[in-house]
Structure 1
Amino acid sequence: MTAKPTDTPLRTQEEITARVKALESLLIEKGVMTTAAVDRLAEVYENEVGPQLGAKVVAKAWTDPEFKARLLEDASAACRELGVGGLQGEEMVAVENTDDVHHVIVCTLCSCYPWPVLGLPPNWYKAPPFRARIVREPRKVLAEDFDLPLPDSVEIRVWDSSSELRYWVLPQRPAGSEHLSEDELAALVTRDSMIGVGTAKPVVTQAARG
């Protein structure tokens, strides 16, 4: 898999925000959309769509082998069983991390991302440096940029999402989590673990709590 680095300069967050606000104002002025519609859309993606939904799916897969098999066979259909799906998630593929293989997702062309399970993509995911480097030198990027050093014995596979097909990662279940409920397991799942640039949170034992 090869990426095509772009020479387009990175814009600051302030520039991006200003452009978005200008476009929003223009659309409202032209009657294409209303302020209420914009507020509702923001509310949906802040509170109703996001990594917490993906975490619910992961926790279900960790505790239900049959559901996990369905998820790996057809992620979109399995997610719909739990009421998770919609725009930017019509065709999804879940790839499972194991002791031997670690997966990470990217979109080398733009910022395609499985919104229904992960919410909106973080800024670094959309940035050209990440999109180019994670393909060329994934082990180095994970270790240096995300503090995720992986041993040489672990194979790293990079999956390139597109507008037609969006990937996300089923992270490994943390050791010592066998006694936890699905809700407790979901709390251990992070957005970064489902992108593949992180792992699920470790289980905090009673001794560790002090």
Structure 2
Amino acid sequence: MSEHKHHQHDLSEGEVRAKALESLLKEKGILQGDVVDSIVSMYTQDIGPMNGAKAIARAWVDPEYKKRLLANATKAVAELGISGMEGENLVAVENTDDVHHVIVCTLCSCYPWPVLGLPPRWYKDAPYRSRVVREPRSVLAEFGTVVPDSKEVKVLDSNVEVRYFIMPQRPAGSEDMTENELAALITRDSMVGVTVLPPVVRK
């Protein structure tokens, strides 16, 4: 699902304040627009998702850690030094051969920042928030994810009391990979549940 298909969502108070501060810093010549874009991109694509990927890769190689992550994700990620705002009530759920999970926040844009970084624009926009609940298979297909009819699709609604993130299925062909190599395979979108991880092809 491309971001340009969605309408602009109502900004939260925090987003309004951030945009006002950004505009002021640009006006004073303190901050350049490309610097802001670079910082946002870094937190969206790298720093945040790297935390979640690290926790999931650990769970893939350490069955005991996996149990702790699924039982209490907030405590389990804290073992890896991961914590912060919007991460007090994390819940990790596992995608399996029988069920595929996808997360949404139908009321606003609650999101597990410590493990996934900044939420993508489409996650906050009304079309995704409403459609993924009503027609999850169609929305997933727009991301290139076709879930077979034999597999159940569960939509998890994050809110102020609980923020979900997904443990994607470990890709075929990754059996001999190190924990760090596994972490590099895991994407933000796979932890939201809108995509799956492709098989690993070794050269």
User: Is contact 2:43-2:118 (8 Å) kept?
Assistant: yes
Q: Which residue of 1 aligns with 2:81?
A: 83
User: Is contact 2:44-2:119 (8 Å) kept?
Assistant: no
Query: Structure 1 pair 118/22, CA: closer, same or farther in 2 (3 Å)?
Result: closer
Q: Which residue of 1 aligns with 2:165?
A: 168
> What do the CA deviations read for 1:32-58 (whole angstroms, capped 9, x no partner)?
xx98xxx8xx58946984101111111
**Which of 123, 126, 134 is equivalent to 2:121?**
123
For 1:141 and 1:22, locate their aligned partners in 2 and report how far apart those are by CA, in whole Å. Answer: 30
- For structure 1, list consecutive stretches of 5 or more residues without a partner in the other structure: 1-8, 13-17, 29-33
User: Is contact 1:190-1:201 (8 Å) kept?
Assistant: no
> What do the CA deviations read for 1:73-131 (whole angstroms, capped 9, x no partner)?
00000000001111111101001000000000000011100000000000000010000
- For structure 2, list consecutive stretches of 5 or more residues without a partner in the other structure: 1-5, 10-14
Query: Once the two structures are aligned, what percentage of the paired residues are identical?
Result: 57
User: Is contact 2:44-2:116 (8 Å) kept?
Assistant: no
Runs of 4 or more off by more than 2 Å in structure 1? Answer: 9-12, 18-22, 25-28, 42-49
Larger radius of gyration, structure 1 or 2?
A: 1
Count of paired positions: 182
Amino acid at match of 2:190: S
For 2:101 and 2:19, locate their aligned partners in 1 and report how far apart those are by CA, in whole Å. Answer: 38
| Structure 1 length-normalised TM | 0.79
User: Is contact 1:53-1:116 (8 Å) kept?
Assistant: yes
| Structure 2 length-normalised TM | 0.81
For 1:47 and 1:108, locate their aligned partners in 2 and report how far apart those are by CA, in whole Å. Answer: 23
Query: Structure 1 pair 27/101, CA: closer, same or farther in 2 (3 Å)?
Result: same
Aligned-residue Cα RMSD (Å) equals 2.6
Answering whether residue 61 of structure 2 is matched by residue 63 of structure 1, we say yes
Q: Which residue of 1 aligns with 2:189?
A: 192
Query: Structure 1 pair 138/82, CA: closer, same or farther in 2 (3 Å)?
Result: same
Q: Which residue of 1 aligns with 2:12?
A: none
Query: Structure 1 pair 205/25, CA: closer, same or farther in 2 (3 Å)?
Result: closer
User: Is contact 2:8-2:125 (8 Å) kept?
Assistant: no
User: Is contact 2:86-2:112 (8 Å) kept?
Assistant: yes
For 1:88 and 1:48, locate their aligned partners in 2 and report how far apart those are by CA, in whole Å. Answer: 18
- SS of residue matched to 2:185: coil
Q: Which residue of 1 aligns with 2:151?
A: 154
For 1:93 and 1:195, locate their aligned partners in 2 and report how far apart those are by CA, in whole Å. Answer: 12
- SS of residue matched to 1:102: strand
